[in-house]
Structure 1
């Protein structure tokens, strides 16, 4: 079995490179991508021009503008950067099937047994650099036996340890002490000073197999993926390189810095396992059919759909899924494509329920000079659970459950949605509120279930509710014998009430600032039934209003 080899890719300017690719042009001006951290904005990514001007990651934006007056700033789009890194992961799949993301700006590739396909490790790294240069990306590479070592080489190869201002720094000691410290700087149990076994170009570093110790000895301790507090504490103690940590007793390091430091050391050296876990590819549910001769008749397309739907249903059944949105693509001989989509009110994989919806959409497809291929894809899917079969003892209950779970309404919603759109079909659901206009909320019928029961109000409610409209009548709580509304004079025939409704005192509703209301069901001389109320007045003047009309 080949020895394990890990390649780490670091994109130090991922955010800026993504924006420059989207602009499809060259950025001569300095560019910085900024993000909010706490109560200030900091730089998260810079391009080459900004880096040359001294702008660095993590720097406050105000300091960056003070250093470079021509600096251009753009807000960071973290989801877009994550999607861009996922696209790079798919690109890196051509080098090895084992590719994992290292958020927010890195990739890890397990090259075990794959490097010889590209002419060796150095040739493979050259291909990676060439591809990244063609895509306009800045990249640094590291190749080693372990993931931790490859990560360290990609980010810290050739970097000097951070400066430490403490009283125990060697350059602050006496001359005699400094001379002895210089002689024992690379001392390792009486042996010779280790040499850094690093090869490759400036953008990439390769640690030969079995040479992880020597490749990491001269790197700063921050290359072990430690937090800033631990790195600073190690620096104050004079431990600034990984080689200086390797000779220390593990028990003492664990007592002082915790087991996290020891674990990172073991992972980098290969003593502790750290596998590369690639992301599982998303499941695609799609089928297609190509034709020896172009077709254009609706019957021919429907016959092809009848053959494709069972295959798609079997693929969904294997994963326990049901489709909610289906896309039909008709690829024509002139390289154009006609696309139609259908939606279902409930997830399903039954071809008999899906076929009528597809048939309704076929007349929207322009076949042109002929169709070479048809493709069906389940764009949105949801889990779908099968029901258990029962014997004759539970057959009656099974029939009742089947009748209670009738799909006729769902099929009707799907058919109507194929014509006017599923979003246009709504239903009302009850809401826990005594305010008349708040007793129901509008919900999409395709993504909601019917309400099991509606609460019964104390009095009948009108079929039509509208915003309260003023009524010209005497300012008294008694029902007026005559009143004027909507430019007409109305005469009272009968009245039922009153029903007192108080406002929600914990909410400030402008329509209910008039205070407590007394509602009356009024029948006029013309036979119209109106819902009037008298507002007793709180922060607004009192008076009569019309709130609805009965059928």
Structure 2
């Protein structure tokens, strides 16, 4: 089933201006409006959150806005700049989230997320990552995912806070309480519907179409059918001018997996030739299969390093053929290098002087495209004595950070996600426990080493000014070894609760 994300940017004109101004932008708390002409009147066409809090609204006369808010910051409307920036944002989303992204002017972006959400950990994680990145960039955004573009568009504008996920197959029920404006109808049609006694979208669902069409024209029923999924609404993806792409149009639609695999190989060969001419390698490939019913099936693969090895790219794409639903047939196949980076020729090691380093990029690419990029990583050390802060995840083939792992004290091979409380008895302040009870199992302590005192990081939180932990390595009667600690120094209650916790297990 198709899934579509609609991103709503309610303050896009003012957000664009603030991003464009950079460090010289006024504070976010300062009211800002964008003004343009409607006939002979100069009215507010956009207002940031601070201006809206002061009562300024779109459509208000600029003179009235100036009377309400003295020394108001006013910028002229620039629709062309807004559209160009919106397209650049769509291209940014294209490279990072989904192969099919389209501009939904004047304040939105549509994303076909079918088959792409698993690479980001599911729809909820994908929406959170998208909204989080936009928010960090200074862009106010709301987003919704539904079975159709029309439904997602309505939910993003009238239900998302800041995200909304409509379960598959629930489109009509979710849309029913929303206002007519969610259907992308002209204001005249919305007003006419209210004059007839209709109050929400649910009142229109199930109504005879002929009277509505005679009264309002075909636009109303077309938008309603698109929203509930009874009419298709293809998303035409944006493409940068310099994108390297190979395309194949078929005289007769194809559907067999073997035929699709054969043409994938031909497209990869053509793409690699184009990449080689420019001295580039692919970091991300998007395969778009246009079906005869105007639906697009997509396959996206990511690569840890720039690659233009045709056999390797073909194998990665063919591994995903089972995710392609050809329907009644595919009439166009296009393969695009969404992200390409410089790839210089490199002489292979001879083995006579130096031993060639093992190349793990192929294995990592295979795993990443099967389970998602977030599931394949390695740990890098962080300069922190607090165990749970001493490591972070980085991409599997990322460059070395330059930091080293501490070796002055042994560390367990398995660190628990969070310390778990244990029952124990110990002689304070510096003696290890005689026994522990963890997860209902009583264990006698035969050997112990410690304490290793770790102080809180006072520069991060005031609560850690006096906090300490005393860590011990213990071994029970079965030879199992654990890493435990006491919160506090065993004497001063201000240093911790003096409760005991188990934090890791030695292999």
TM-score (norm 2): 0.54
Out of 384, 391, 394, the residue aligned to residue 443 of structure 1 is 394
- Structure 1 residues 83 and 362, CA gap change in structure 2 (3 angstroms): farther
5 Å-filtered alignment, 1:519-538, equals 519-534=471-486, 535-536=488-489, 537=492, 538=494
- Paired residue total: 322
Aligned position for 1:496: 449
Question: Relative contact order (C-alpha < 8 Å, sep 6+): which is higher?
Answer: 2
* Matching of residue 549 in structure 1 with residue 505 in structure 2: yes
- Structure 1 residues 514 and 494, CA gap change in structure 2 (3 angstroms): farther
Aligned position for 2:233: none
Q: For 1:352, what is the secondary structure of its paired residue?
A: helix
- Structure 1 residues 454 and 67, CA gap change in structure 2 (3 angstroms): closer
Q: Which has the larger radius of gyration?
A: 1
Out of 35, 50, 60, the residue aligned to residue 45 of structure 1 is 35
Shift of 1:550: 1.9
Shift of 1:356: 0.8
Aligned position for 2:434: 481
Give distance in 2, aligned partners of 1:452 and 1:354: 32
5 Å-filtered alignment, 1:241-260, equals none
- Structure 1 residues 53 and 429, CA gap change in structure 2 (3 angstroms): closer
5 Å-filtered alignment, 1:360-509, equals 360-387=319-346, 389=347, 395-396=350-351, 400=355, 403-404=356-357, 406-407=358-359, 409-445=360-396, 448-449=398-399, 454-466=404-416, 467-472=418-423, 473-474=425-426, 476=428, 477-508=430-461
- Structure 1 residues 80 and 483, CA gap change in structure 2 (3 angstroms): farther
5 Å-filtered alignment, 1:114-513, equals 282-387=241-346, 389=347, 395-396=350-351, 400=355, 403-404=356-357, 406-407=358-359, 409-445=360-396, 448-449=398-399, 454-466=404-416, 467-472=418-423, 473-474=425-426, 476=428, 477-508=430-461
* Matching of residue 84 in structure 1 with residue 94 in structure 2: no
- Structure 1 residues 375 and 429, CA gap change in structure 2 (3 angstroms): same
Alignment check: 8 A CA contact 1:481 1:491 kept: yes
- Structure 1 residues 319 and 509, CA gap change in structure 2 (3 angstroms): farther
Shift of 1:350: 1.1
Which structure features the higher share of strand residues? Answer: 2
TM-score (norm 1): 0.50
Shift of 1:364: 1.3
Shift of 1:54: 7.4
Where structure 1 has 5 or more consecutive residues not aligned to the other structure, the ranges are: 1-17, 23-30, 90-280
Aligned position for 2:64: 68
Shift of 1:452: 7.8
Q: For 2:446, what is the secondary structure of its paired residue?
A: strand
- Structure 1 residues 398 and 334, CA gap change in structure 2 (3 angstroms): farther
Give distance in 1, aligned partners of 2:36 and 2:455: 60
Alignment check: 8 A CA contact 1:475 1:543 kept: no
Alignment check: 8 A CA contact 1:475 1:544 kept: no
| CA RMSD of superposed structures (Å) | 4.4
Alignment check: 8 A CA contact 1:332 1:369 kept: yes
- Structure 1 residues 497 and 386, CA gap change in structure 2 (3 angstroms): same
